[in-house]
Amino acid sequence: MNLLNELREALGASQVLVEGDLSAYEMDWRRRFPGRALAVVRPGSTAEVAAIVRLCAAYGVSLVPQGGNTGLVGGSTPDASGTQVLLSLARLNKVRAIDAANLTMTVEAGCVLQTVQEAAVGAGFLFPLSLAAEGSCTIGGNLASNAGGTQVLRYGNARDLCLGLEVVTSAGEVWEGLSGLRKDNTGYDLRDLFIGSEGTLGVITAATLKLYPRPAARMTALAACDTLEAAVALLSLAQARLGAGLTGFEVMNQFSLQLVRKHFPQLRQPLPPSPWTVLLELSDTESEAHARTMFEGLLEQALESELISDAAVAESLEQSHGLWHLRESIPLAQVEEGLNIKHDIALPVSRIPAFVAATDAALAAAFPGVRMVDFGHLGDGNLHYNVQAPEGVAAADFLLAHEAAINHIVYDAVLAQGGSISAEHGIGQLKREELAERKSPVALGLMRAIKKALDPQGLMNPGRVL
């Protein structure tokens, strides 16, 4: 009996896909890393995941775990060899339990993030992880890549929102680590090894997540800033006046919103174009009246001190969603404009203005006419620093010819400012060589030792991260 037959026997023939159009599994979201799988397998339980891993280990066949396939670094699609098994977690999509007194919920890895959010709301709570792909990304993928999103400033990354995991190891054993404990000082933190490991150490099958009380009120606004320095100063003022109530602080340069205006003209932009636009949000635990007083006081002081030149406050939940939709439409507008060179970088907030000014100038000098799409989570120092081809230049040709040189300029500048080449997207295939070149040799040695210890056959998502 061969591997495919044994997989069919373990899962049922209908859950082992080898024919037809499998592009939804084999092509990444950015369409940069097409692959071909030996088979796409769709387990319906943790026990079935374990059986698949044991079979692949016995045959020496590598596995590529996949959630919603919304990643941006080519971390969850097979290579072109046709020898890898793609393990889709989509059918592991149950909400297993909600513990209201403990403020936790346990969900399976294939649960779509929006489903997790809605289940929390249905129980009267908030699960605060939020990102543009939340309607299709899954909680397993969020944890495997340690996703960030728009509320990291207040609640932290996916890692900070997870208390426990269930994981299938490379040997096909199940680690039952679904603890709802906030304190467990009994040795190495195995949970944190698997979070952010991009499926290279094991397969996350379920997680216990933190819940929070729902805020009594939210206030959202756009504010226009003449400089990035002013936006950073506004962040400091907002943190001082709003404290932990400041849950979102996004920044967008003029060209990023110009792309949204060009490709999605139906989306209303309530402020005229400005060099920089900030989207900020307050979540208040007291009342709407208290939230409005706090928020309007902040904006009045910002106007008086000339940190902002104009502001628009959402007067309804619909308007608030509209403001967030502008921010979330920037990546979609870039897709419409053509392939672009993406950089998901982290920097100390204080150094972001100097980095942007110097690196914008260096890129403009080296590649005249290049268009910068700068936006992201200024509140936590995560900038999406993307480079669009000059007007009239074929985007795909520009990327092919200049991506390596542009990456060199950007990443040299990032490291010179004490930053990181990946803030929330992960490494995958896209940044693997950059990591090998720029990460500390000591850190890389430790990472390789962990990989060797937990995946001695090297079958778990090989060629990713390391």
Structure tokens at 102: 């403990």
- Would you identify the CATH topology of the domain 338-425? Alpha-Beta Plaits (3.30.70)
Query: Identical fold at 3-88 and 95-213?
Result: no
Cβ distance 92 to 203 under 8 Å?
no
Query: What is the DSSP annotation of 252-320?
Result: EEHHHHHHHHHH-TTS---S---SEEEEEEEEESS-HHHHHHHHHHHHHHHHHTTS-SEEEE--SHHHH
In degrees and rounded to multiples of 5, residue 443 shows phi and psi of: -65, -45
Query: pLDDT of 79-99, one tens digit each?
Result: 999 999 999 999 999 999 999
> What are the φ and ψ backbone dihedral angles of 347, each rounded to 5 degrees?
-145, 155
Kind plus residue range of the DSSP H or E element containing 116: helix 113-122
Q: Where are the domains of the chain?
A: 3-88, 95-213, 217-331, 338-425
CATH fold group of domain 217-331 = Alpha-Beta Plaits (3.30.70)
Sorted by sequence, the CB contacts under 8 Å of residue 8 that are 6+ apart come out as: 16
Instruction: State the angle between helix axes of 3-11 and 46-59 in degrees (0 to 180), rounded to the nearest 10.
Output: 170
pLDDT at res. 344: 95
Q: How confident is the model at residue 234 (pLDDT cuts 50, 70, 90)?
A: very high
Residue 258: pLDDT over 70: yes
Tokens standing for 259?
Answer: 């792309």
Query: In this structure, what is the dihedral angle of CA atoms 451, 455, 458, 459, given to the nearest 10 degrees?
Result: -130
Mean pLDDT of 442-448: 97
Q: How far apart are CA 285 and CA 381, in angstroms?
A: 26
> What confidence tens digit (pLDDT) does each residue in 386-421 have?
999 999 999 999 999 999 999 999 999 999 999 999
Pairing of strands 344-346, 371-377: unpaired
Structure tokens at 383: 């900038």
Pairing of strands 162-169, 84-88: unpaired
pLDDT at 1 over 70: no
Taking only the tens place, the pLDDT of each residue in 25-56 is 999 988 888 999 999 999 999 999 999 999 99
- Architecture in CATH for domain 3-88: 2-Layer Sandwich (3.30)
What does the alpha-carbon distance between residue 249 and residue 284 come to, in Å, rounded to a whole number? Answer: 15
Report how far residue 141's alpha carbon sits from residue 165's, in angstroms, rounded to the nearest whole number.
13
pLDDT band for position 312 (cuts 50, 70, 90): very high
pTM confidence score: 0.92
How far does CA 354 lie from the centroid of its chain?
A: 25
Can you tell me which residue has the tokens 């396939």? 69
pLDDT at residue 11, as a whole number: 96
CATH tag for 95-213 (out of 3.90.1150.10, 3.30.465.10, 3.40.50.880, 3.40.50.620): 3.30.465.10
